[in-house]
Amino acid sequence: MLLAFLLFLATPGHADDSPVDPYQYWDYSHGALEYNATYDANRILCVYPLSGQYSLLNRLLYYALIIFAVVGHSHPWLVTGPLAYIMTYSSTAAVHALIMAVVSKNGLLDIDVLGTWAIISIGCLAVLPIFTTSKAISESQYSPVFGFWGTLMSIGVICSLVSIHREYPDELECRSSTNNQLLTSQTQLLDHAFNCTYACFGTSQPLRAASEIEIISKKAIFGHFSILQGALALTGAFGVISALFGCIPMHRKSTEAELRETIRHNQPSKRYETSKVARSKRSARKHAREELDRGEYRPGAMTMCWTILAVPSVAIVIILNEVFILAHEGGFQSSEKPYAIGQWGPWVSVFLAAIAACMVKFYTPRWKARQKILSEERKAFNLRNGIEAQGNTSAKNESSKQLGDIEAGLKTPEIPTIISATQSGHIAASSNNISNGSDIVGTVSAEVIALGTASANGHTDTILRILDSGVDVNEKDGFGLTALIRASWAGRESTVKLLLERGAITSGWQGKMAVTRASQNHYSNVVQILLDHGASKE
């Protein structure tokens, strides 16, 4: 209301505005519901034409996107754009309907009333099907926004009903004295063949100019009003109820604690309770237990019934609205022609948005994989810097060499004799070193590093000797890498199989890291082995 009042005050007046309301003494007694075909046969209505915003092409696009949003609800990435267009377009129509309901009192009929009705009525009916079928909406943080849209549609329907049933002034036809031509515009008055005029010429109202006024017969609108009445009745009785029922209050998944509290709170009381209260508590306990057993929220039976009924209702109301709008000879002409940019431009915009959604959908997996690799490289870089900060110059050089070796995936740092032995595959010569890891500096034992080195080089005999000595196959080295990751990184199929047989873990980050490194080096066989043992790509 405040918005409409501000727009009313902000609308500039026109130089040709009449200082006296030509309809101030008019008897508004022949509106849509009191139309009489005999009495009103020679009467006309002064109207403002249909705006390009509500032309046939724009309405068809709106209908198509609503159907697409319901049918494609299982693909949120594809229907998000259409839903945004549907909500903004219909919300604008609802605000327009509110403004017209306020400022058009005692004014001329604005055909935009029919345009806004065609948009808002379908939006009101489609609220419940879209909400209940799309988990991307019902289970997201944006569901309150969708609920607000449903409420706005209900308000818009009420405002449209007020404007449609309002009584508008009519006049007797003015025809030429020479050829009986009907006067339809002010420019025809230049022809002196007209000895009459219309009181509406020269008037204006907010959001419209006097030059836009057109003349149509009263029969063109009210003669077919029974068609529109069907859509009005169906939407009024079903659409508003379904929108309010589905979105106010918004449904949400309850936590387990909330459900158990509901069950506890609705236990039978030891004191006397009426049968109505007892039934209400039983119903609350039943619904809470059902949701607790399901583990997720599902719409109730009544909501689903309304949803099922809403789908054919949308089709019926579309047909009734369009038949009424197009029933007039030639249809109610829009102020814009079909070839105008405002008519076909939205179609192009929606088409380009769909292409963009498809591009993002197919590019996202590769983008995520690359971001994952970059993240791991950043972690390795940070780890290297951390090691360098703790040691002296020699330790820095050694840690840098270690990191370079790990990134190559083929060798590990040069430390104690056991490491050199595992690199060449001759573990027997240093068998007594397996039980002695005191030569390694730091907290990681030499055996663990030796295991990683042998795994990267594919020395299965060495791996077996180290594991038989009691080393854990899943132990991590100083860089957080397990033997399985190092073997996968180097593409050692037989080694990977051996480690898996000896209990190497493929779940969690170990499996993901192994798959990532094998994929990075194009070792598809190793990747398949890991996936077969429960590793995950993501």
Specify the pTM. 0.58
Q: Name the one residue in this structure whose structure tokens are 């050829």.
A: 179
Q: Name the one residue in this structure whose structure tokens are 């309150």.
A: 144
What is the domain range of residue 490? Answer: 391-532
Instruction: Label residue 230 exposed, middle or buried (CB < 10 Å: 0-12, 13-18, 19+).
Output: middle
If asked whether residues 330 and 442 sit together in one domain, one would say no
Predicted pLDDT of residue 388: 46
**Residues 6+ positions from 38 with CB-CB distance below 8 Å:** none
Q: CA neighbours within 13 Å on the CB side: how many for 149?
A: 27
If asked whether residues 148 and 221 sit together in one domain, one would say yes
If asked whether residues 316 and 406 sit together in one domain, one would say no
If asked whether residues 308 and 457 sit together in one domain, one would say no
If asked whether residues 399 and 327 sit together in one domain, one would say no
Nearest to 512 by CA among 329, 401, 368, 384: 368
Residue 80 in any domain: the answer is yes
Give the phi and the psi of residue 361 in degrees, each rounded to 5: -60, -45
If asked whether residues 423 and 313 sit together in one domain, one would say no
Per-residue tokens: 308:
């099922």
The answer to whether 175 and 182 are in contact (CB under 8 A) is yes
Q: Name the one residue in this structure whose structure tokens are 């079903």.
A: 238
Number of domains in the chain: 2
Nearest to 155 by CA among 238, 93, 232: 93
Residue 186 in any domain: the answer is yes
Residues 100, 120: Cα–Cα separation, whole Å:
14
Residue 248 in any domain: the answer is yes
Instruction: Label residue 428 exposed, middle or buried (CB < 10 Å: 0-12, 13-18, 19+).
Output: exposed
If asked whether residues 232 and 135 sit together in one domain, one would say yes
Positions in the chain whose pLDDT score sits under 70: 1-40, 134-140, 223-224, 236-255, 292-303, 327-335, 384-444, 538
If asked whether residues 185 and 66 sit together in one domain, one would say yes
If asked whether residues 306 and 451 sit together in one domain, one would say no
Nearest to 535 by CA among 485, 483, 466, 464: 485
If asked whether residues 206 and 326 sit together in one domain, one would say yes
Helical axes 524-532 vs 493-501, angle rounded to 10°: 10
Give the pLDDT confidence of 367-381 residue by residue, as tens digits.
888 888 888 878 877
In three-state secondary structure terms, 437 is: coil
Indicate the helix (H) or strand (E) that contains 346. helix 341-390
Residue 276 in any domain: the answer is no
Predicted pLDDT of residue 210: 78
Residue 24 in any domain: the answer is no
List residues bridging with 20 in a β-sheet. Answer: none
State the SS3 of 210-279: HHHCEEEEHHHHHCCHHHHHHHHHHHHHHHHHHHHHHHCCCCCCCCHHHHHHHHHHCCCCCCCCCHHHHH
Residue 114 in any domain: the answer is yes
Nearest to 335 by CA among 119, 99, 55, 107: 55
Residues 166, 30: Cα–Cα separation, whole Å:
10
If asked whether residues 438 and 306 sit together in one domain, one would say no
Residue 30 in any domain: the answer is no
Instruction: Label residue 493 exposed, middle or buried (CB < 10 Å: 0-12, 13-18, 19+).
Output: middle
Predicted pLDDT of residue 276: 77
Residue 466 in any domain: the answer is yes
If asked whether residues 89 and 201 sit together in one domain, one would say yes
Read off the CATH number of the domain in which 493 is found. 1.25.40.20
Indicate the helix (H) or strand (E) that contains 457. helix 446-457
Per-residue tokens: 11:
């609308």
Predicted pLDDT of residue 36: 56
Q: Could you tell me where the beta strands, DSSP code E, fall in 27-159?
A: 43-48, 109-110
Predicted pLDDT of residue 288: 76
Predicted pLDDT of residue 394: 46
Residues 517, 531: Cα–Cα separation, whole Å:
13
State the SS3 of 161-212: HHHHCCCCCEEECCECCCCCCECCCHHHHHCCCCCCCCCCCCCCCCCCCHHH
Q: What is the tally of helices (H) and strands (E) in the chain? A: 21, 4
